[in-house]
Amino acid sequence: MLAAFSRRAVAVTKRAMTTSSILKSKDVAFIGLGAMGYPMAANLSGLRSDEDTSTVFVWNRTNSVAEKHASEFGTRAASSLDELKGCSVVFMCLPTSREVELVCKDLVLDQGAIVADCTSGDPITTRKVASSLAERKIEMVDCPVSGGPTGAKSGQLTSMIGGPIHAVSAVEPYLKRMAQKKIVQVGSIGAGHAVKAVNNTLNTAHLAIASEGLLALAELGIAPEVAIEAINGSSGRSLQTEERIPKEVLSREFNYGFPLGLMLKDVTVAVDSVCAKNNANVRDKKDQMPKFFPLVKVLLEKAVELESGEADYSRVVRPLEAETGLELHAGSGVDGKYDAPIYELSEKEVFHG
Ligand code: NDP
């Protein structure tokens, strides 16, 4: 079970600051040049200050991607992990904590170097990896990011960072080049991954619950774009009703750019790691309040089954649509799809005054 990310833990890591070795090398590295890592490493390299002569190494499992990055952005492609040995900070952005664990086993770094994990990971595995790195005198922070490939390209990411304060402070100047929108220190190691998993679950939950409401209204003959116009001027609005539903769902584009499979991975972390204690309480005790997070996971599992793990996460609305036999799309008033006359008054309800 996940131990608490308490303020005390943060205070303890603050005291450890004096014993930490000071980072000597200014060279840094980025491992994992995927949809997120590729543009993040470009910003890590491109936003160096003029007098900064340090090198940004890039390593990718498929080396040709690293070579391409080097020729495009002036980074230095490493063909083996050994070439990263002299780097003081090594960022990585890999699919899951499993790949992070595998790569960290093979990583040889100098004492006092820091691994900065931008993966949306699992806090339990992260703590394990951090303690095995600590045996080799390597530190770790977890700094997952939010903002998608578009934010990664523009540098407009938000990062939630966990770890020992001195390591967090050492990483922040580099992280700032990639996460210019916001960096929030959230606690000890694993806290970043815990917050990120909860954030993504909320994202999906808001999208799903708003769609459930819109489908119910559609069944009553109220067109979604009309309902959403009212909701967006009222207290039920959210980023999902203002942006995601009109742009991805009502348009039937479903092209936000984040796959269902990765979202299911994050929500599984939230349910099975972050909320494990709360969910166990629900199973053990009668009359507990219902828990929403496991419902989000069930819905995502159904969506992956119906659509595929590669499909856009906005397709999480598809199982809900399939159940009602309706589709949420714009222009519904025109084709009469939502013209169910449920709200027509019966003769005796009409006031003839
Ligand atoms: P991609 O699938 O685009 O990239 C994955 C990267 O990991 C590739 O560089 C791949 O290398 C590498 N990789 C995969 N398996 C291994 C392995 N066993 N050993 C070494 N390297 C490996 O993923 P994303 O960039 O989209 O996502 C990365 C992380 O960021 C995930 O945790 C995701 O949840 C998170 N994230 C993603 C967002 C998005 O919108 N895409 C938004 C916010 C967070 P290769 O080129 O050889 O395949």
34 touches ligand 1 (CB under 6 Å)? yes
Residues 257 and 339 in one domain: yes
Range of the domain at 100: 7-188
Of all protein residues, the one whose alpha carbon is nearest to atom 2 of ligand 1 is 34
Q: What does the pLDDT read at residue 254?
A: 97
Q: What is the pLDDT of residue 12?
A: 39
Q: Rounded to whole angstroms, how far apart are CA atoms 299 and 110? A: 45
87-94: average pLDDT: 98
Residue 270: Cβ-neighbour burial (10 angstroms; 0-12, 13-18, 19+):
buried
For atom 12 of ligand 1, the residue with the nearest CA is 32
Identify the CA nearest to 160 among candidates 141, 174, 133, 140: 141
Q: Select from 30, 33, 36 the residue to mutate for testing ligand 1; criterion: most ligand atoms less than 8 Å from CB.
A: 36
- Which has the higher per-residue pLDDT, 15 or 280? 280
Going from the Cα of 237 to the center of ligand 1, the distance in angstroms, rounded, reads 32
Mean pLDDT to the nearest integer, 265-276: 94
Tell me the CA–centroid distance for residue 116 and ligand 1, in Å. Answer: 15
Quick one: 41 and 182 in the same domain? Answer: yes
Judge if 243 and 306 occupy the same domain. Answer: yes
Stronger pLDDT, 201 or 289, i.e. the higher one: 201
Percent of the chain past pLDDT 90, that is, above it, reads 75
For residue 353, tell me if it sits in a domain.
no
One domain for residues 236 and 169: no
pLDDT, mean of residues 74-84:
97
pLDDT tens per residue, range 130-166: 999 999 999 999 999 999 999 999 999 999 999 999 9
Please compute, for residue 208, the number of CA atoms within 13 A of its CA located in the half-sphere on the CB side.
23
Last residue of a domain, one of 149, 171, 188: 188
* Residue 1 domain flag: no
Residue 36 has pLDDT above 50, yes or no: yes
pLDDT per residue as tens digits for the range 212-233: 999 999 888 888 999 999 999 9
CA–centroid distance, residue 95 to ligand 1 (Å)? 4
Judge whether 57 and 80 are in contact, CB under 8 Å: no
Distance 235 CA to ligand 1 centre (A): 36
- Report the nearest atom of ligand 1 relative to the CA of 61: 47
State the pLDDT at residue 338: 56
